[in-house]
A and B are shown apart, each in its own frame.
Chain A
Amino acid sequence: QQQVKQSPQSLIVQKGGIPIINCAYENTAFDYFPWYQQFPGKGPALLIAIRPDVSEKKEGRFTISFNKSAKQFSLHIMDSQPGDSATYFCAASKWETSGSRLTFGEGTQLTVNP
């Protein structure tokens, strides 16, 4: 079963807070875990990604934590800003001979209040 379960469905924080979005996967063959940010009416944009051999990756205010044994990974947004208000998707994929298929979580709608 190639599922990725994402929580929470929605999240509201105050400016400066640290929202945390969690994802869990089932397929141990997945070898790539990206996070995408999507604003209304736009296509998703890659935010940050991690491979299974790394437990944490930081890019600016965004951090991915990865727990291979638990098959879970999470996104933390440090010092969140109102401009971070968007829908966030986690995803997972494995390289197949016919290309890379991304399996997406259902998304988290983040609202950062001023």
Chain B
Amino acid sequence: DGGITQSPKYLFRKEGQNVTLSCEQNLNHDAMYWYRQDPGQGLRLIYYSQIVNDFQKGDIAEGYSVSREKKESFPLTVTSAQKNPTAFYLCASSIRTSGGAHTQYFGPGTRLTVL
């Protein structure tokens, strides 16, 4: 069963704690992405990675960190430096087709709540 899995589905964090969100894909996609979604807003890019051991900051990287040690995995750590982490976090992956399209496919998301 191919796709993108994210875990956990719901996550609760106390203030001052770091938490790590998991994202795994078995689509053999090269690129992976993390987005944050707040109520009534569009998706904002946190980090993205085109290849293993390489990643770039997106528009709202402050307070977050990532790693890309394996092609299939792209975990996101929400650090205590992120002042307003309560949000819906979405992971995506993409591959560029021979026609030039670079479609992104999304996982089911993790809802993080800070207590």
Contacts and interface: CB of A to CB of B under 8 A. Distances in A.
Interface residues of A, number: 27
Nearest to B31: A99
Contacts of A89: 42-43
A41 B89 CA distance: 11
A102 B56 contact: no
Given A43-B108, A44-B43, A89-B42, A99 B49 contact: yes
Interface stretch (A14-22, A45-53, A61-69, A77-85): A45-53
Contacts, number: 73
- The B contact surface, by secondary structure, is strand
**Top 4 A-B pairs, shortest CB-CB distance:** A43-B106, A104-B42, A100-B102, A99-B50
Interface of A: 6, 9, 31-32, 34, 36, 41-46, 49, 51, 89, 93, 95, 97-102, 104-107
Interface of B: 4, 6, 30-31, 33, 40-45, 48-50, 54, 56, 58, 90, 92, 94, 96, 100-109, 111
